Amino acid sequence: MLVLLLLMPLVLLGSVECLYRYTLSRVGELPRVPVARTDFATRALWAATEEGPLQLEPRWPWTLVAEFAQVTWHPRHERTAGSLTSWHVARQWMTSRPGHASTSMRNWHLRGLALSMWISRHWSVEELLTAYAEGSGFGRNIIGLDAAARRYFGKAPGQLALHEAALLAGLPQSPARYDPFCQPERALQRRNVVLSRLQGLGWISEAQGEEARKQPLHPAAIAEEGAGACAHDQNTPPGRSRLHGE
């Protein structure tokens, strides 16, 4: 009996790993590891998405089982570091693949989970953030942080001021809701939340945070376009995003 009790966890963990490997094989082509970027605007995306320090924890069968148990007993549990960002990147990749719309919702979610686990095991946190920055939508049909920085502020990401980087970092989770021209009050609140998180991580000082909060939104290039693009979120992946709370 004791032997059986000891074997049960091993069988469970082995089954989870086998399911992961099989599901990953159904994903098809895996994303290439991006060349890591280290500009502050890219790092600020972490503060807008994750709750903890800048680190990516590999996800193994035992961590997955632990996550499931925590969700069951403590719905407001702290997520595994990097799990939300790796899920976003996995979703971006799968949505870009031919034939993704014909995949059943269950299989789509399982493959996304498997891919996010693979990313957590094989990429660095800087590489993960780079993929997130380059593949995320920032509203107004803008894809990628480079394009967003140029469109909103006429700058490269490395040239953005703190308040500008914080504004852009807050956009990908809901570009329409935080559109700085169409929803300036929400955009301002979201930007300030990101600034508070950056301060909480110790990446900026209290004085820097206070100074940045005093700055206007100032999306000058967008303001020239008028309110013509305020109807809806143009970066919403068809048929998927509403299922993910965006």
Distance CA 104, CA 1 (A): 41
Of the two residues 246 and 124, the one the predictor is more confident about is 124
Please provide the average confidence, as pLDDT, over all residues in the chain.
Answer: 85
Instruction: Check whether residue 84 and residue 165 sit in a common domain.
Output: no
pLDDT in tens, 158-194: 999 999 999 999 999 999 999 998 899 999 999 999 9
Domain assignment of residue 54, yes or no: yes
Total number of domains in the chain: 2
Distance CA 110, CA 16 (A): 12
pLDDT band at 242 (very low <50, low <70, confident <90, very high): very low
Domain assignment of residue 39, yes or no: yes
Domain assignment of residue 2, yes or no: no
Question: What per-residue confidence (pLDDT) applies to 52?
Answer: 87
Choose the final residue of a domain: 135, 151, 178: 135
Choose the final residue of a domain: 135, 159, 181: 135
Which of 204, 43, 40, 48 shows the shortest CA–CA distance to 128? 43
Instruction: Check whether residue 131 and residue 203 sit in a common domain.
Output: no
Q: Once rounded to an integer, what is the mean pLDDT over residues 184-206?
A: 96
Contacts of 12 (CB under 8 A, 6+ apart): 61, 65
Domain assignment of residue 3, yes or no: no
pLDDT in tens, 108-126: 999 999 999 999 999 999 9
pLDDT band at 131 (very low <50, low <70, confident <90, very high): very high
Instruction: Check whether residue 12 and residue 89 sit in a common domain.
Output: yes
Instruction: Check whether residue 125 and residue 42 sit in a common domain.
Output: yes
pLDDT in tens, 207-238: 999 999 999 987 655 556 555 556 544 454 43
Q: Which region among 31-45, 92-106, 189-203 has the lowest average model confidence (pLDDT)?
A: 92-106
Domain assignment of residue 163, yes or no: yes
pLDDT band at 241 (very low <50, low <70, confident <90, very high): very low
Is 166 in contact with 44 (CB distance < 8 Å)?
yes
Domain assignment of residue 1, yes or no: no
Q: Once rounded to an integer, what is the mean pLDDT over residues 148-167?
A: 95
In CATH, what number is assigned to the domain containing residue 208? 1.10.3810.10
Question: What per-residue confidence (pLDDT) applies to 218?
Answer: 72
Instruction: Check whether residue 19 and residue 105 sit in a common domain.
Output: yes
Instruction: Check whether residue 115 and residue 217 sit in a common domain.
Output: no
Domain assignment of residue 50, yes or no: yes
**Is 0.85 topped by the overall pTM?**
no
Instruction: Check whether residue 199 and residue 115 sit in a common domain.
Output: no
pLDDT in tens, 38-92: 999 999 999 999 988 999 999 888 787 777 776 666 655 567 888 999 999 999 9
Question: What per-residue confidence (pLDDT) applies to 150?
Answer: 94
Percentage with pLDDT > 90 across the chain = 61
Question: What per-residue confidence (pLDDT) applies to 67?
Answer: 74
Instruction: Check whether residue 151 and residue 101 sit in a common domain.
Output: no
Instruction: Check whether residue 12 and residue 131 sit in a common domain.
Output: yes
Instruction: Check whether residue 148 and residue 29 sit in a common domain.
Output: no
Instruction: Check whether residue 43 and residue 153 sit in a common domain.
Output: no
Question: What per-residue confidence (pLDDT) applies to 238?
Answer: 39
End-to-end alpha-carbon separation of the chain, Å?
Answer: 49
Domain assignment of residue 236, yes or no: no
Instruction: Check whether residue 199 and residue 160 sit in a common domain.
Output: yes
Q: Once rounded to an integer, what is the mean pLDDT over residues 19-39?
A: 93
Residue 225 structural domain: 140-231+242-246
Choose the final residue of a domain: 88, 107, 135: 135
